[in-house]
Chains A and B, each alone.
Chain A
Amino acid sequence: MANETEEQDLKERKEPDPSRRNFLKNSGYAVGGLIVGGVVGSLLRSPNKSTTNNTNNNGTTENKTPANETVNFNQALMYFTQEQFLITEAATERLFPADDNGPGAKELGVAYFIDHQLAGEWGVNGREYMQGPFYKGETTQGYQGRLKRREIFDIGLQEMQNYSNKKFQKKFKDLTPEQQDEVLKDFETDEVKLTTISASGFFKTLFGSTMEGAYADPLYGGNGNMGGWKLKNFPGNQMSYTKIIEQDKFEKMAPVSLREHLPHS
């Protein structure tokens, strides 16, 4: 059960900052080099049309977002409970914190990304071999458990909560950042002894999906405002680098996401 502060937390979740819209407006889509794939070239939309990532909300329902503000309808949950979401958000922010370089996991929407991934094929190990018999193998043989990622997250997040309560008498999200790091470290090093899953295995999956959520195309709900890409000066989805491939100077380019590949009216 979510308590009041948690609900408050969710309600106060900030809408994306206005710089996002400005940025997208300004990101002219320059196509370098020769485009031969007809289908690719012809469907590129013009750069000055429909530049926001979100649909306008015209305020027909009661909503604290003012009319004409953009909302990100993607920021809702497909799998997690509120409690799971808040633990994930707090934990991923420690793994990938906001700093002088730029946004951290929370601002990038990493916890939404993980939620959405768990809701789909990846969450149920849909394209992985999950038939028995199950035996404990050598580490060289990889994961041999019967649990699917969703179940591993269910257990892992609950265990993080339990461990926090036991060690610090508080929920994970209410711990100080240093305490949260301690909990994470204890999972990373198997200091926490779990019977159902491997604590370090869960930590690895959590860390891996945090990096994915920071850097995958924003279409998946993370890498908000392409903020992850901007951290690394990664230009995203460009059509061609023929013009710069030989050049000695580092080329800074405004990143472009896959959304620019479809016409949006």
Chain B
Amino acid sequence: MATKLPKTDVVIVGVGWGGGIIASELTKNGLSVVGLERGKERKTEDYYMVHDELRYALRYEMFQDLSKETITFRGNEKIRALPMRSYGSFLLGDGLGGSGVHWNGQTFRFLPYDFEIKSKTIERYGKSKIPDGMTIQDWGITYDKLEPYFNKFEKLTGISGDVNPLGGKRSEKYPTPPMKDTPGMKMFSDSCKGLNYHPYHMPSANLSEQYTNPDGIARAACQYCGYCERFGCEYGAKADPVVTVIPVAKNTGKFELRTHSNVRRVLHKGGKATGVLYIDTTTGEEYEQPADIVVMTSYVFNNARLLLLSGIGKPYDPKTGTGVIGKNYAYQVLKGAGVGFFEDKEFNIFAGAGSLGMCIDDFNGDNFDHKDLKFIHGANISYSQTGARPIQNNTVPPGTAKWGKDYKAASVKYANRHINVGAQGSCMPFRHHFLDLDPTYKDEFGDPLMRITFDFEDQDRELVKFMGGKCGDILKQMGADKVVANTELAPYEITTYQSTHNTGGVIMGDSPDTSAVNNYLQMWDTDNLFVIGASAFPHNSGYNPTGTVGALAYRAAEGILKYHQKPGSLV
């Protein structure tokens, strides 16, 4: 029997970006909050030996231990889903700060088009533009309504950047100036200007200069150390929940953080959540934490999985397209890319930062005409200099031997003589892409794993063909001696890293028939339960997700405070 603990105002499941923001906003406003995080505590001092490519990037030091829990995957419903036994396609956060610790910090705002994608696509191109099976829908909120919350997240994190000339309207500039320009960035920028595109600095959560945020938290400038993505920042320069929101929550005296606490169920009765059931993984003891309000911030997969395991919300059924939990799983379409080789130019690409780069949105969202194209939406195209570390930096021209003398010579020669330009392709949802519980494979407690059913579609292949060509054009204009553009997209596979930009499963919208949460990320069926994260995205845009996750978390925090004053549906 679980030990029942004293009731709290709010319990949070998972303390990463979403959980951290909720904890700080609610405790600042006087609510008592318990944060349950299944991983360990983290602090800047942990990163004393962090410049270790093997340990952090290839042995996945900071990520979820897959021996305890993983996901299963199949390309379609006809084949058997099998477990992701080792890491590949994406990496799952674990421990205080979640993936917010080892992310790159590329912090974009989704486009106004994204939030009204269905209406705007029909308005401009007609209904027939949306192919059969593509389940895009409006988000139940507009960009303008979300703008103040984007602004809040950017001020919290101190984003360094300049205004996106093709983005949504901004109420304020970025809080800090753009990052420094490297020669590769200048070349990209000049090339894009030559092609009449609109380059701007990638908005960066690695600080360009020292910054104090509205909570009074001061952080130092980024050192361009080159060990950013998959690593923690020893300087605290990278915005991370552990050096921003979590200390603010702790300072209020209202936040009780419990690490090594793995939540297995959300408890509920009569349409209300009553708390959560969790295991202290250090002792194996089971606890019940009652709360007035439950907030789920356990990343896309566990947000959806815990709801299904707990029997909350109607599970999605791909046959009928009804039900909502597990619906509209989407990802990121990244293969449209190019690499340029330079014979006489060496770049200091061992140096870099997670979000150091230049990009364009000329081919993102609906910023270009899709009339004659066989896809909708698009991609942010960028050159980023994130630090080329030697084990993983072995780009060689096609036709080079795959090992041995010639391979070694080429990989050494081009180690610092190449530039990658890539497109971060949006990903549209389809009726047969979804999340549900795996019938066979279990986690360490015997609970079913999350099962992903997903593959790339014609939409994605067309997008890659188009974007790969654009990346190649930019590289040619940059003066590369040899340009290799990838314009082909193979079936989705789970073995090579693409991005940790999984989305959907608990999507937002304006009706309980088609969405799981409203635009405060409040569950339609269970109004004291809030589900926060990219799980709320009805589709994924041509950007990294966290800027939009942060904005939605701030809006949810506001909603929770309102709900605490006056319970009931917020919309």
The chain A residues found within 8 Å of chain B, CB to CB, are 33-34, 36-37, 39-40, 43, 94-97, 99, 101, 104, 121-122, 125-131, 133, 135, 137-144, 181, 184, 188, 207, 211-212, 214-217, 219-220, 228-229, 231-242, 244-248, 250-251, 258, 261
In Å, the complex CA distance between A95 and B52 comes to 23
In Å, the complex CA distance between A126 and B390 comes to 25
Q: Are B48 and A39 in contact (CB under 8 A)?
A: yes
Closest B residue to A128 by beta carbon equals B86
Q: Are A140 and B492 in contact (CB under 8 A)?
A: yes
Pick from A37, A95, A212, A251: contact of B54, CB below 8 A.
A212
In Å, the complex CA distance between A96 and B53 comes to 19
> Which residues of B sit under 8 angstroms from A128, Cβ to Cβ?
66-67, 85-86
Q: Are B221 and A34 in contact (CB under 8 A)?
A: yes
> Which residues of B sit under 8 angstroms from A211, Cβ to Cβ?
391, 394
Given known A-B contacts A142-B494, A142-B495, A144-B82, A240 and B224 have beta carbons under 8 A apart: yes
Q: Are A95 and B409 in contact (CB under 8 A)?
A: no
In Å, the complex CA distance between A184 and B407 comes to 15
In Å, the complex CA distance between A258 and B348 comes to 20
Closest B residue to A241 by beta carbon equals B351
Given known A-B contacts A181-B404, A240-B225, A216 and B391 have beta carbons under 8 A apart: yes
Q: Are A144 and B85 in contact (CB under 8 A)?
A: yes
CB-contacts of B144-160 with A (<8 A): none
Shortest Cβ-Cβ A-B pairs, 10 listed: A241-B351, A140-B493, A240-B223, A250-B346, A215-B390, A36-B220, A237-B51, A216-B54, A232-B415, A142-B495
In Å, the complex CA distance between A240 and B389 comes to 15
**11 interchain pairs, CB-CB under 8 A:** A36-B236, A37-B47, A39-B48, A99-B409, A129-B441, A131-B442, A139-B493, A207-B403, A231-B412, A234-B390, A240-B224
Q: Are B404 and A127 in contact (CB under 8 A)?
A: no
Closest A residue to B85 by beta carbon equals A129
Q: How large is the interface on B (under 10, 10 to 19, 20 to 34, 35 or more residues)?
A: 35 or more
In Å, the complex CA distance between A79 and B76 comes to 41
In Å, the complex CA distance between A215 and B350 comes to 13
CB-contacts of B175-207 with A (<8 A): 180-183
Q: Are A129 and B226 in contact (CB under 8 A)?
A: no
Q: Are B405 and A99 in contact (CB under 8 A)?
A: yes
Q: Are A141 and B416 in contact (CB under 8 A)?
A: no
Q: Closest CB of chain B to A249's CB: distance in Å?
A: 8
Q: Is B563 an interface residue (CB 8 A)?
A: no
Q: Are A242 and B416 in contact (CB under 8 A)?
A: no
Q: Are A215 and B53 in contact (CB under 8 A)?
A: yes
Pick from A94, A184, A239: contact of B223, CB below 8 A.
A239
Q: Closest CB of chain B to A250's CB: distance in Å?
A: 4
> Which residues of A sit under 8 angstroms from B70, Cβ to Cβ?
129
Given known A-B contacts A137-B80, A232-B390, A33 and B351 have beta carbons under 8 A apart: no
Q: Are A130 and B85 in contact (CB under 8 A)?
A: yes
Q: Closest CB of chain B to A258's CB: distance in Å?
A: 6
In Å, the complex CA distance between A245 and B434 comes to 43
Q: Are A215 and B226 in contact (CB under 8 A)?
A: no
Q: Are A261 and B49 in contact (CB under 8 A)?
A: yes
Q: Are A141 and B53 in contact (CB under 8 A)?
A: no
> Which residues of A sit under 8 angstroms from B67, Cβ to Cβ?
125-130
In Å, the complex CA distance between A139 and B88 comes to 13
Q: Closest CB of chain A to B373's CB: distance in Å?
A: 27
Closest A residue to B86 by beta carbon equals A128
Q: Are A232 and B348 in contact (CB under 8 A)?
A: no
Seed contacts A43-B48, A128-B85, A141-B74; 19 additional CB < 8 Å A-B pairs: A33-B223, A36-B237, A37-B235, A97-B408, A122-B59, A127-B65, A131-B441, A140-B493, A142-B84, A143-B85, A214-B390, A215-B53, A217-B52, A232-B415, A233-B346, A245-B351, A246-B182, A250-B348, A258-B49
In Å, the complex CA distance between A125 and B70 comes to 14
> Which residues of B sit under 8 angstroms from A99, Cβ to Cβ?
405, 408-409
Closest A residue to B350 by beta carbon equals A234
Pick from A131, A212, A246: contact of B181, CB below 8 A.
A246
In Å, the complex CA distance between A237 and B225 comes to 8
Q: Is B45 an interface residue (CB 8 A)?
A: yes
CB-contacts of B239-277 with A (<8 A): none
Given known A-B contacts A139-B493, A143-B85, A216-B53, A238 and B235 have beta carbons under 8 A apart: no
